Amino acid sequence: MSVPQYLRQISLKVGDADAALDLSDMRIRFAVRRGDTRTPNTADIRVYNLSENTVQRIQKEFIRVVLQAGYAGNYGIIFDGTIKQVRRGRESQTDTYIDITAADGDSAYNWSVVSASLAAGSTAEDHTQAALGAMASRGITQGDVAPLSLNRLPRGKVMFGMTRDFLDVTGKTQDVSWSIQDGKLTLIPNTAYLPGEPVVVTSATGMIGLPEQSQNGINVKTLLNPGIRIGRRLKIDNASIQRLRLNPAPLTEANTSLALVQIATNADGMYKVLVANHYGDTRGNEWYTDTICISVDATLTNSGMISGGVGIPGAIAEPGSVRPFG
């Protein structure tokens, strides 16, 4: 997907669909942090010069906030979550503001408890559905979930405890990363990516500066792009990537080889998004997306370190070049 980035657009709504305040016409500054980790995504949103009545309503009545941003032709949700705190302040004698601190799925993450007994023959899919059922009362629905192992347990299974702990177990045994994205439970295999066309990142489509290879992967900055989502692919010209200089002093040969695998560039220029942070100011210069991504085939296979259970019939698939799933 390659869409030129121009003509900014934004929408900020506080409240449910049937009773929401539309603050889109105000000056808005925001910073949204999204990642493929289990820790909830967060947003800090500052809205300027609201009336006293509006501020009171936001502080007392509403819990949901939906932020959409982008450009004409490439516009969508960059955050959908619940308000955790509203703070008032003043920048000058004429400008007041409220700061909205919000999180995505933190109630389910912090407080959801699963209590279920599964008969013998349950699968990883059954365990995931039990966890999802426990989160449903706190507003979490099913998002992108890859096919899981069909292995059946020979005995019954009792699930009682924090839901996030059982999802951690599923993540380790199924080689997937779980997270909550816009109120949806998402499980993406560590050796796969979300289906769909890749987001083409070039100077013509909004790339700022040059991509840089770091210890965490490939860092790339673009004009704000809601199409850059966790688990999706980016297509980057490898010739534009500035390579990292490794410091060999504190690293053994094995550690250096492993680090090179994890931050390797992809032969076809395809990269999987792990972190996508959006920030902007409707009356300022900032309107950017910072992304950290890794090569779609950056698995541990090349270093000879393969997860336990690989090769067992019905177990997780052997790591290799990433394949899409549907």
Q: Does 322 have pLDDT greater than 60?
A: no
The answer to whether residue 154 sits within a structural domain is yes
Query: Domain end: 140, 156, 189, which one?
Result: 189
Cα(272)–Cα(295) distance, rounded to whole angstroms? 6
Final residue before a domain boundary, out of 105, 132, 166: 105
Q: What is the pLDDT of residues 123-175, one digit of tens each?
A: 999 999 999 999 999 999 999 888 888 889 999 999 999 999 999 999 999 99
Checking if the pLDDT of 18 tops 80, the result is no
Burial of residue 96 (number of CB atoms within 10 Å: 0-12, 13-18, 19+)? middle
Which pLDDT does position 62 carry in this prediction? 82
Percentage of residues in the chain having pLDDT higher than 90 = 65
Task: Calculate the CA 289 to chain-centre distance.
Answer: 13
What per-residue confidence (pLDDT) applies to 156?
92
In the chain, the amino acid numbered 123 is: T
320 part of a folded domain = no
Same domain for 279 and 220? yes
174-178, 200-204, 317-321, range with the lowest pLDDT: 317-321
Q: Is residue 194 part of a domain?
A: no
What pTM was computed for the model? 0.85
144 neighbors 188 (Cβ within 8 angstroms) = yes
pLDDT for 252:
64
Find where tokens 């990292």 sit: 244
**Residues 283 and 239 reside in one and the same domain:** yes
Classify 282 as helix, strand or coil.
coil
Distance CA 10, CA 67 (A): 8
| C-alpha–C-alpha distance, residues 133 and 102, integer Å | 24
- Please report, for residues 58, 138, 145, 267, the alpha-carbon distance to residue 196 in angstroms, rounded to integers and kept in the order given: 37, 29, 15, 19
For residue 1, with 0-12 CB atoms within 10 Å meaning exposed, 13-18 middle and 19 or more buried, which class applies? Answer: middle
Sign of CA dihedral 309, 194, 40, 298: positive
CB atoms within 10 A of CB 252: 9
pLDDT for res 2: 59
What's the chain's average pLDDT?
85
CATH of residue 25: 2.40.10
What percentage of the chain exceeds 70 in pLDDT? 85
Cα distances (angstroms) measured from residue 72 to each of 9, 224, 240, 242: 7, 12, 27, 31
Asked whether residue 310 carries a pLDDT value surpassing 80, the answer given is: no
What confidence score (pLDDT) does residue 250 get? 61
Last residue of a domain, one of 83, 105, 127: 105
Please give the average per-residue pLDDT across 288-303, as a whole number: 73
Indicate whether 313 belongs to any domain: no
Asked whether the predicted pLDDT for residue 316 surpasses 50, the reply is no
Burial 70-81 (b: 16+ CB within 10 A, else e): bbeebbeebbbb
Q: Are residues 162 and 214 in the same domain?
A: no
Instruction: For residues 41-62, give the mean pLDDT.
Output: 92
Considering the domain architecture, whether residues 100 and 174 belong to the same structural domain is answered as no
DSSP string, 218-281: EEEEEE--TT--TT-EEEE-GGGPBPP----TT--HHHHHHHHHHTPPPTT-EEEEEEEEEEEE
pLDDT of residue 196: 87
Across the range 82-96, mean pLDDT stands at: 93
Instruction: Quick: pLDDT tens for 208-267.
Output: 999 999 888 899 999 999 999 999 999 999 989 998 877 666 666 666 666 676 677 887
Residues 162 and 209 occupy one common structural domain: no
Does 162 share its domain with 241? no
Per the CB < 8 A criterion, the answer to whether 237 and 231 are in contact is: no
Same-domain check for residues 115 and 84: no
- Cβ neighbours around 30 below 10 Å, total: 24
On whether residue 319 sits in a domain, the answer given is: no
Residue 192 predicted with pLDDT over 90: no
Question: What per-residue confidence (pLDDT) applies to 265?
Answer: 83
Identify the pLDDT of residue 319. Answer: 37
Do residues 86 and 104 touch, judged by C-beta distance below 8 A? no
Split into its structural domains, the chain has a count of 3
Choose between 121 and 257: higher pLDDT: 121
What was the pLDDT predicted at 30?
97
Q: Poorest-confidence range of 18-22, 92-96, 268-272, 290-294?
A: 18-22
Position 16 in a domain:
yes
Q: Is residue 259 part of a domain?
A: yes
Two tokens, residue 173: 């045994």
Structural domain harbouring 117: 108-189
Is residue 316 assigned to a domain?
A: no
Question: Which residues are registered as beta bridge partners of 222?
Answer: 207, 289
Please compute the mean of the pLDDT values over residues 263-291 and round it to a whole number. Answer: 92
CATH number at residue 183: 3.55.50
DSSP track, 158-208: EEEEEHHHHHHHHHHHHTEEEEEETTEEEEEETT---SSPPEEESGGGTEE
Residue 52 predicted with pLDDT over 70: yes
CA dihedral of residues 134, 42, 78, 104 (deg, nearest 10): 10
Instruction: State the Cα–Cα distance between residues 107 and 139, nearest whole angstrom.
Output: 9
Q: Say if residue 104's pLDDT is above 70.
A: yes
